[in-house]
Amino acid sequence: MTPPAATGGACAGSYDEERAARAVRELLLAVGEDPDREGLRETPARVARAYREIFAGLRLDARDVLTTTFDLGHEEMVLVRDIEVYSTCEHHLVPFHGVAHVGYIPGADGRITGLSKLARLVDVYARRPQVQERLTTQIADALVEVLDPTGVLVVVECEHLCMSMRGVRKPGARTVTSAVRGQMRDVATRAEAMSLVTGR
Ligand SMILES: Nc1nc2c(ncn2[C@@H]2O[C@H](COP(=O)(O)OP(=O)(O)OP(=O)(O)O)[C@@H](O)[C@H]2O)c(=O)[nH]1
Ligand SMILES: [Zn+2]
């Protein structure tokens, strides 16, 4: 079977806000709350609206955001560091958050994209139920597919609230994942990119 294109993966289904609100009301009942008490009366609708935003990436495709490209003939590394990441752990539906560093070396045609588009690309994949490893590789593979660059490096560092506020309860533990493609695998190039990531 052919694997899906990296840029894809967006679900075709539309967002059913009423259904989400019903499910939240049901969840409140299940945990022993009274969804009709004053403070909670608007909560199901509010959460349903918030989930529309939090999972908006399910209805986006990387090609939707990597729209602006420039032919600058720039062939050197471009790296945007410390892009804020807010995502949702698909195992527990609680947040994981931290930063992403996204770098690439343009292809032979020197085509580059707008810097903000790299941050938008992170959001396309972060705003879905996720695991950090998949988030990292999806960002890298989408860049490869759309920009056809010579190399890509993506590093994501996050704290998972499912490890902090419950379960093993280790607040402050940060998970670091990376995805390296093309010429970024070259030892010296990768070292240069990592020195840009760490600022050293
Ligand atoms: N690899 C990976 N694991 C994750 C990620 N987010 C959460 N997890 C882990 O998913 C695992 C789920 O394990 P389970 O044993 O099925 O669930 P659980 O009983 O709630 O596990 P605990 O969190 O250890 O209490 C846990 O070890 C989580 O730490 C992620 O992004 N990547
Ligand atoms: Zn989790």
Tokens of residue 76, six digits: 């050197």
Instruction: Name every protein residue with a CB atom under 6 angstroms from any ligand 1 atom.
Output: 89, 91, 131-133, 160, 162-163, 167-168
Residue 199 burial (10 A CB sphere; 0-12, 13-18, 19+):
exposed
Is the pLDDT reported for residue 8 higher than 70?
A: no
pLDDT for 75 equals 83
Q: Ligand 1: which residue has its CA nearest to atom 14?
A: 91
CB 6 within 8 A of CB 66: no
Residues of the chain with pLDDT > 70, as a percent, come to 94
pLDDT for 6 equals 58
Q: What region does 93 belong to: left with phi over 0, alpha with psi -120 to 50, or beta?
A: left
Q: Ligand 1: which residue has its CA nearest to atom 24?
A: 167
Active site (catalytic) residues: 89-92, 132, 160, 162
pLDDT for 2 equals 42
**The tokens 């588009």 sit on which residue?**
117
Q: What is the mean pLDDT of residues 1-16?
A: 65
**The tokens 């490890």 sit on which residue?**
163
**Ligand sitting nearest the alpha carbon of 130:** 1
Length of the chain in residues, anyone? 200
Is the pLDDT reported for residue 105 higher than 90?
A: yes
CA nearest neighbour of 18 among 54, 51, 60: 51
Tokens of residue 200, six digits: 């050293």
Write down the ipTM of this complex: 0.93
Is the pLDDT reported for residue 200 higher than 80?
A: no
Mean pLDDT, all residues of the chain = 93
Question: Tens digits of per-residue pLDDT, 146-172?
Answer: 999 999 999 999 999 999 999 999 999
90 Cα nearest atom in ligand 1: 6
pLDDT for 150 equals 96
Q: Which domains does the chain have, with CATH numbers?
A: 17-54 (no CATH), 64-198 (3.30.1130.10)
